[in-house]
Copies of this chain bind each other. A is one copy, B any other.
């Protein structure tokens, strides 16, 4: 390994464990969460080995790795009998549940070919995905409540890098994607951990500012977009830097540039146009528009992936409603790199976005201890899916609707319209 790359990789591992997970001595750590992908891509081995060694050095009681291989998943779609596609080995859900129930740390490592399942029968893809989501839902509820310290990071793999950087020589693509990820994670800075502390404090200050405002709603205006979202009473703006049930602060995504809360599940009116393509579970959705009425998607149009998008909206009662609204200034450090990553972890931090599906219970005051029914009654959306899609750009304005109907600028031409200390 190139020593410069190696030292960056070490710094990335350290950032993941300290700023991302804030791994506690005595905790177990599960690397690989077989929900959004099948586990840790095999190509992530050099990073994973560093994570394992460092986690043990930090006092981890056990470090477990669940590896997954996209090609194995693809081979299933290409060769299995369709009537077997609902098969799911229960251990994958059990292991996850075991870790979250015992209050351990879990780390998702994303690095997947965005086009993996292109050309597969959307009905089958949707069936497999729904089975995984249903089986892992009890475990993911711990994540939605942030009962534990969890984090998500990205690792370049060959097919993904080729998609992001088609004009670069194939032998250089993975390396270049690493460089981009290192920059988004501020690993080009002298002291990345310190740089993250400053950055996370900024995000927290913006949350505090907006939390004092107690807006009734937000209006988003951009070419192709004009939508008004109601915000439920007691909504809380948070960043990905949060605190788990035991009071351990952690950062759920690396990198992260967003602050977010939940919209009222019955109060979305208008139209949104996606400002960037969306890669979800091996399928690519491009140039799509969603029309909302009383919180529900009532119309869908997409240049690419429309059939699959319709299926996603039908997964359950909540998958056609919104669970998250997130503000990201434009250009964010990630957008400045000028790449479309086809990876939600990176792309969602490039632009203001919404998410279809489940809301996070911590986005509501006292929400963590709320029953599903109480959470829903106040406007919190419940679903097995959570699909972020980008709507922000340099042309976006966001208004805050203050009590008594006063309109206040929150974002203008993509940039924050208010200052914090």
A53 interfacial contact with B, CB 8 Å: yes
> Are A72 and B65 within 8 A (Cβ)?
yes
Question: Which chain A residues numbered 76 to 96 have a C-beta less than 8 Å away from chain B?
Answer: 76, 78-81, 84, 87-91, 94-95
A56 interfacial contact with B, CB 8 Å: yes
Count of this chain's copies in the oligomeric assembly: 2
Partner-binding segment picked from A42-50, A209-217, A368-376: A42-50
Known contacts A80-B56, A81-B59; is A49 also within 8 Å of B71 by CB?
yes
> Are A95 and B87 within 8 A (Cβ)?
no
Smallest CB gap from A73: residue in B: B52
**A45: B residues at CB distance < 8 A:** 42, 69, 71
Question: Which chain A residues numbered 47 to 77 have a C-beta less than 8 Å away from chain B?
Answer: 48-49, 52-54, 56-57, 59-65, 67-69, 71-72, 75-76
Specify which of B39, B75, B89 is in contact with A56 (CB 8 Å cutoff): B75
Specify which of B63, B72, B87, B91 is in contact with A91 (CB 8 Å cutoff): B91
> Are B53 and A78 within 8 A (Cβ)?
yes
Specify which of B49, B53, B75, B94 is in contact with A49 (CB 8 Å cutoff): B75
> Are A62 and B87 within 8 A (Cβ)?
yes
Known contacts A42-B42, A53-B75, A87-B28; is A48 also within 8 Å of B60 by CB?
no
A233 interfacial contact with B, CB 8 Å: no
**A79: B residues at CB distance < 8 A:** 52-54, 56-57
**A53: B residues at CB distance < 8 A:** 75, 78-79
Measured CA separation A190–B91 after assembly (Å): 41
Measured CA separation A169–B42 after assembly (Å): 26
Specify which of B48, B57, B67, B84 is in contact with A62 (CB 8 Å cutoff): B84
> Are A91 and B94 within 8 A (Cβ)?
yes
User: What's the minimum C-beta distance from A106 to chain B, rounded to whole angstroms?
Assistant: 13
Specify which of B60, B69, B78, B98 is in contact with A89 (CB 8 Å cutoff): B98
Question: Which chain A residues numbered 5 to 54 have a C-beta less than 8 Å away from chain B?
Answer: 28, 39, 42, 45, 48-49, 52-54
Measured CA separation A56–B81 after assembly (Å): 7
Measured CA separation A64–B91 after assembly (Å): 11
Smallest CB gap from A44: residue in B: B42
Other A-B contacts than A28-B87, A56-B80, A59-B81, 8 sampled, CB-CB below 8 A, are A45-B71, A49-B75, A52-B72, A54-B79, A56-B79, A60-B80, A63-B75, A91-B98
Ranked nearest first, the 6 interchain pairs of A and B with the lowest CB-CB distance are A56-B79, A67-B67, A91-B95, A62-B87, A53-B75, A56-B80
8 residue pairs of the A-B complex, CB under 8 angstroms, read A39-B67, A48-B72, A53-B75, A62-B88, A62-B89, A63-B75, A67-B68, A91-B94
